[in-house]
Structure 1
Amino acid sequence: MLLRTDRDTLLSPLAAVCGVVERRHTLPVLSHALLEADGEQLKITVSDLEIQLECRRPLPTALPFRLCVPARKLLDILRALPAGCELQLRLQGGQLLLSADGSRFQLQTLPADDFPLWAPDSETPMPLTLRQGQLKRKLDQVLYAMAASDIRPYLNALLLQLDGDQLCLIASDGVRLAFQRYPLPQAMPERKLLLPRKAALELNKLLLDQDQPLALEFGARQLACRLNDTVLRCKLVDARAPDYLRLLPDSHDCELSLPRQAMLEAVQRVAVLAHAKFRQLELAIRPGQLALRCRNAERELAEEHLPLDWQGEPLEASFNLAYLQDVLQSQKAEQLHFGFARGMRGVLITAPDEPDFRYLAMPLRG
């Protein structure tokens, strides 16, 4: 027998790492998880060749073992079993036999030596310790601005910019930009690193809302994130990011302070009649009033009005509907500050409760 344990003890670490496993893969072993036991603890490792994620749990075993099992199949089986039931795992030939609460499953395994474990980085990593809860709150405010599949690789990534005693977190898809700053306990050498989109999202899922420590190790071509019993390693994007901070405007033609929740609800209501393809939101700023409008291909119209303490010149602009929804949903502040500029200079959104936060969205043309 390989091991005897309860279902939840095995389910927890497997569920933590399975997000990395691709449903479509080029190598059969990439759909598998590497299970390694040394008699005192169990380590589960998955990889997609760009990200390697491993999770350890204390788990006594009679003998050490190493084998590769289908990750998502095993996860689905464990989720379907009753909570707290006892599991027994045996190896018979090339199959893993799993018995639990009257159920019996046979899974085909692969040799552990076929699993593509990463070699250590060629450069001694530069360590940095952060607080998980604080980092998670800041990542939640910027990650949505990353591109998903742009031909420019630096847009499908999160820029980590070490600048003295601060770590800047910057995400952009080329039309909008989200910026946050994490103050560091000590000054660090200046450096820019591009964290792949998938790795950034997986890291954010692993972070706890508590202020437990997180260790980042910056290597030459890799980044290692150590938190709790989990280690995430990823290859850094080999590209040069532009100087995003130069894009942030320092002056505006119109500055408004608006209640976030009221603005979000108004946007959600007019979105019902937004064009299915263009998703355009029109903003019309007039003395004492902000009008929000959406139109669709059937010439239908939705319009909302919010009161303003504004007596300047009228201003109109159109934005991608999702670009405003994302920032309104990610922020928790009661009031948001909107800085509008005429022409094609966009809107800069800031939050009084988050002095380091910046969000720039460019208007739609035409």
Structure 2
Amino acid sequence: MQLTILRSQLLSGLEKVGRAVNSRSTLPVLAHVFLEACDNRLSFFATDLETGIVMPVSAEVKTPGRTTVPAGPFTEYAKTLPTQAELTLTLKDGKLTVKSGASKASFATGDPGDYPPRPTLAEADHTFTLLPGVLKDLLRQTLPVTATDEARAILTGVQFDAAPAQLTLRAADGFRACVAQAGYESLPLAPFQAVVTARSLREVLRLLDGTHPEAVQIIADQQARVAFLLAEGVIVFAQTLAGEYPDVDQVVPKTATTEAVLSVEAFIRACKQMRVAADKPREALGRLDLQNSGANAVKVTAEGEILTASETTLTGDVTVTGQSMQIALNLAFVLDMLEVIKTSHVRLKANAPNTPVVLTPEGVPGLLYVIMPMVGH
């Protein structure tokens, strides 16, 4: 294998696939990146057996070939070379030599036959297309709600429910849930459901921010894989999770005895003020007093060991209907939702202090969050 490539192109490929490299695996080959040169392109592929990323870049290929090389040292060395450098890569006698001007380095390589094979899309059963902005919004809305505890592995992923009329994503961690819906750019060939790991989806979101596709094609095959085809030939392969996903829709209350509409900006500020009182910000407890006696108001309070008491009252741009009520919520969960919605107001619905609370952004159909109250606080 021999080729000439710009440093910028080499680094672009290495950095895009590098997050799928697993340097701590018991399989040493997973610390490598797979390189294949042909048709004036150098294709990078890395996988940790859960997520796989493919990235092709332009190169002047003199002799086609393929190999694997340790991703970490190879990437770090490439970063030290001049920004505008043109590099020559030559594979010979099991070593990959990189030459740039007066600099030259040789890397030990691995047998490409030992590397996990790149998935194929030949047996794809289901495919549909989304606008990139739509997919970004769906992932930003649902990913914060996924579980991190492997004891309930199915909750560490997001459920994709591709029905004929619309796509629904569901996420839950046992304390809260999110349901987000959107329309297609092109309709699915056939309905399907799959639970995709949150880690893979975070890579999709990261790569969407670094590329600018006109549309994203999503493909599911018979091998329990889902592929996301992005711009510039970038593909993310995600392994799906086996098991039955909980029926999230069942925990969503259909009615409410109390409703409040609040300014998102003011609610965020209040939650952040109360969170200061918490010893552990992710476990910040806030009490919401929804007042519908006289002037509408929502009073938010919190307590802590150092900041012993904190309170703020939201008035003016607040509407409370139904019964007055006090509810204790994890403020970190509330902020996770408020900081990703793109509306000026949010609607809060509740039936009792010990029943699920529903939060929906005003003017955004098909998006809701359910948060379990912290009963006994």
Q: TM-score range by the shorter chain?
A: over 0.9
Say yes or no: does 1:317 pair with 2:323. Answer: no
Identity, % of aligned positions: 25
Query: Shift of residue 4 of structure 1?
Result: 2.1
1:235 corresponds in structure 2 to 239
Question: Cα gap change, 1:332/1:65 in structure 2, threshold over 3 Å: closer, same or farther?
Answer: same
Greater shift in the superposed pair: 71-80 or 234-243? 71-80
Say yes or no: does 1:282 pair with 2:290. Answer: no
Aligned 8 A contact 1:131 1:213 in 2: yes
Aligned 8 A contact 1:215 1:227 in 2: yes
Query: TM-score, normalised to structure 1's length?
Result: 0.92
Aligned 8 A contact 1:154 1:239 in 2: yes
**1 CA distance for matches of 2:87 and 2:26?**
31
Query: Shift of residue 174 of structure 1?
Result: 1.4
TM alignment of 1:1-366, pairs within 5 A: 2-100=2-100, 102-118=102-118, 120=120, 123-184=123-184, 185-186=186-187, 189-207=190-208, 212-220=214-222, 221-228=224-231, 229-276=233-280, 278-287=283-292, 288-298=296-306, 300-307=308-315, 308-310=318-320, 312-366=322-376
Aligned 8 A contact 2:345 2:362 in 1: yes
Query: TM-score, normalised to structure 2's length?
Result: 0.90
Query: Shift of residue 36 of structure 1?
Result: 0.3
Question: Cα gap change, 1:234/1:87 in structure 2, threshold over 3 Å: closer, same or farther?
Answer: same
Aligned 8 A contact 1:281 1:319 in 2: yes
**2 CA distance for matches of 1:360 and 1:333?**
18
Spell out, residue by residue over 1:262-294, the C-alpha distance to the aligned partner (whole angstroms, 9 max, x if none): 111121122111132742122122233212222
Greater shift in the superposed pair: 193-202 or 287-296? 287-296
Greater shift in the superposed pair: 338-347 or 118-127? 118-127
**1 CA distance for matches of 2:107 and 2:340?**
42
Question: Cα gap change, 1:215/1:305 in structure 2, threshold over 3 Å: closer, same or farther?
Answer: same
Question: Cα gap change, 1:25/1:51 in structure 2, threshold over 3 Å: closer, same or farther?
Answer: same
Spell out, residue by residue over 1:155-214, the C-alpha distance to the aligned partner (whole angstroms, 9 max, x if none): 000100122211101111111111111213436544321101111111122225856122
Spell out, residue by residue over 1:231-279, the C-alpha distance to the aligned partner (whole angstroms, 9 max, x if none): 2222211111122112211211211111111111121122111132742
* Corresponding letter in the other structure for 1:212: E
Report the aligned-residue RMSD.
Answer: 2.2
Structure 1 unaligned runs (5+)?
A: none
Question: Cα gap change, 1:348/1:101 in structure 2, threshold over 3 Å: closer, same or farther?
Answer: farther
